[in-house]
Amino acid sequence: MKRKWWQDAIIYQVYLRSFKDSNNDGIGDFKGLTSKLDYLKNLGVNTVWVSPHYKSPMDDNGYDISDYFKVSKDYGNIDDVIDFIEKAHIRNMKVIFDLVLNHTSDEHEWFKAAKNPVHVDHHKYHDYYIWQTPKYDKQGNRQMPTQWRSWFGGPVWEYNPPTNEYYLHIFSKKMPDLNWHNDNMKRDLKDVARWWIDLGVDGFRVDASNHLEKDWSFPEGHPGYEYFSSLPKHHEYLEEFGVEVFKPNNVMAMGEAGGATKEEALKYCGFENDEFDMLIHFGHCWADCDDSNHITPGKWSKGQIDVLHIKKSFDKWFKMLNGDGWNLIYWHNHDHPRVISHYGNDSVYHNESGKMLAFCLYMMPGTPIVYQGEEIGMTNVDYHNLEDFRDVEVFTEYDNFLSFGATHEVAMQALRDRSRDNARSPFQWDATKYSGFSTTKPWMNINYNYKVINLENQLEDKSSLYNTHKELFKLRKEEKLNDGVLEFINMKDKNTIIYVNETETSKFLIITNFTTHKVIVDLDIELTGYRNIMYNYTARELLPKMKLLPYEALVYKKEK
């Protein structure tokens, strides 16, 4: 396959709302982002993925789109977008936009017509969405078609009195799911993508891409995820979109999906397929859930970190795609807790564990995605009032926790540990009030620790997390780490992640301790010739038996 630009990319994910506010209304925007392009360029990333910027009532911070062709007034106008794309391109940077194909906002014109039987366009748009008539119990009470549960915690069905039907929403009730059996709907979405391609975007991240097909026999199930996630037919839709929209226009597409077999993985992002170029999968995420917790269950229960699980997932994906597809690597996105609070240690070992996580990930092959603020070690939020949170999911889940028996404090701790808001607090640029993000109180509170953890504090400090990331990105490019071959060592050790990334010219050995205690590692490989090029405590000679300090991490290089 001819080499593609995205194989040399280092992607930076921007959560627009919280990156940089240019007009001081407390909300991040395009002008703010454009003003930080030099910062990003200097950090060493070359591609920017922007979270949804379309017109939206912001029930789910823009993933609920009410007009695909308009820019949200919160973020600026179309000229600001054009200017951003131009200025990124001048700097040799690529632009990726988020493309939401699974649902619209309930305030989208299509849905307004669909739900209203007397609307002139009702017949045209009703079938753009997924409707079911009610069931009735013996007493004649209206019942939902199924007991399926939405990803945000409540039922997936919302009743619409004017048509006496329920519509399906697998996320919030303000996000009705689109009907991918409808050809006109598909045509309209393809036009949306083409319109943004014409404006100059280089790629898309396709939101919720494994949810497009549903089981139209609507079997009973609770939560019933298997009836609206990863059904075989969604591959057909993605392929159709790829063939008609992405490939002919030469734009990059990356999808998201939960698990996948090798066959499926290659369908999504094998070199020979037509769906995506790369896939964001979640194999290494949430490797610390406590299954015995039924009060704040599932992803909300923080337990012991399972390091084996993390490395097995990376190993599995590299083996599955080996030579037949291209890997994406990342720690987390806007739907997860901050990695330093999640898999590292955001208090005593902030700097050490931050570097350990950076070495561990950014020395691997593949195309990396850096999440905004990760490069300075931003942490989970420290909100103490429910009202401090913003995410739509938080509020349904908080009520669930209480109904399962959680106290207010237990529920709040689960939110601080696990909610999506952790990744969404404003960027900490400096120590001024509102952290240089804005001069007004932002839409969401700044993290309490911004006076200590901020970019300005780290710019001049050679040993800072910021400069460590910068050094790693430089090394990635110089050494063509994206192209290497990954091999894990000591696979069974539950405390460490150790691997070799072998490039054409060198071998890199990365040793990382994921625990707060000292661990001993035995290295049963050929050790001669390795030089220690990066470390988070002090430089160390490579030995067959090494005692690692808490979160110690070392990078060695050997020329071939």
Catalytic residues: 207, 256
- Nearer Cβ to Ca ion (17/332): 17
**Using CB under 6 A as the criterion, what x/- string covers residues 321-340 for binding ligand GLC?**
-------------xx-----
Residue found under tokens 């994906």: 317
Residue 208 found at the interface with ligand GLC (CB under 6 A): yes
Q: Per rule CB under 6 A, is residue 49 in the interface with ligand GLC? A: no
* Integer CA distances (angstroms), 346 to 322, 336, 380, in order: 34, 15, 8
3-state secondary structure of 432: coil
**18 vs 513, which CB is nearer to Ca ion?**
18
User: Which option in Ca ion, ligand GLC, none does residue 29 bind, with CB closer than 5 to 8 A by kind?
Assistant: Ca ion
Nearer residue to ligand GLC within complex by CB, 224 or 436: 224
**Beta carbons of 17 and 424 less than 8 angstroms apart:** yes
The residue number whose beta carbon is nearest to ligand GLC equals 63
473 binds, among Ca ion, ligand GLC, none (CB under 5 to 8 A by kind): none
Residues 166-185 that bind ligand GLC (CB under 6 A): 171
- Which of residues 127 and 335 has its CB atom nearest to ligand GLC in the complex? 335
Strand order from edge to edge, sheet including 485-489: 485-489, 496-502, 506-513, 553-559, 531-535
Q: Binding of ligand GLC at residue 60 (CB under 6 A)?
A: yes
Q: Collapse the DSSP code of 60 into the 3-class scheme (helix H, G, I; strand E, B; otherwise coil) and give the result.
A: coil
User: d(Cα 66, Cα 450) in Å, to the nearest integer?
Assistant: 34
| 168 versus 208: smaller Cβ distance to ligand GLC | 208
For residue 14, state whether it binds ligand GLC (rule: CB under 6 A).
no
Q: Which of 74, 158, 207, 275 binds ligand GLC (CB under 6 A)?
A: 207
Helix axes of 392-403 and 408-418: crossing angle, nearest 10 degrees: 140
* Contacted entry of Ca ion, ligand GLC, none for residue 208, CB cut-off 5 to 8 Å set by kind: ligand GLC
Q: Can residue 483 be called a binding residue for ligand GLC (CB under 6 A)?
A: no
- How near is the Cβ of 300 to ligand GLC at its closest, in Å? 16
Q: List % helix, strand, coil for the chain (3-state, nearest 5).
A: 35, 20, 45
CB of 455 to ligand GLC, least distance (A): 25
Residues 6+ apart with CB under 8 A from 439: 24, 433
Q: Smallest distance, Å, CB 60 to ligand GLC?
A: 5
Q: Does 68 bind ligand GLC (CB under 6 A)?
A: no
**How far is residue 58's CA from residue 17's CA, in Å, rounded to a whole number?**
11
- Note the Cα 61 to chain centre separation in Å: 14
The binding site for Ca ion (CB under 5 A) comprises 21, 23, 25, 27, 29
* Minimum distance from residue 208 beta carbon to ligand GLC (Å): 4
Residue 413 makes CB contacts below 8 A (sequence gap 6+) with none
Choice between 63 and 362, CB closer to ligand GLC: 63
Residue ranges of alpha helices (H) inside 363-501 are 392-403, 408-418, 455-459, 465-478
Q: Which structure tokens are listed for 501?
A: 């990334």
| Among residues 100, 257, 415, 510, the one that binds ligand GLC under rule CB under 6 A | 100
Chain-centre distance for alpha carbon 526 = 37
Q: With CB cut-offs between 5 and 8 Å by kind, which of Ca ion, ligand GLC, none does residue 21 bind? A: Ca ion
Cα separation of 322 and 265, whole Å? 11
Q: Which residues would be at the binding site for ligand GLC (CB under 6 A)?
A: 60, 63, 100, 171, 207-208, 334-335
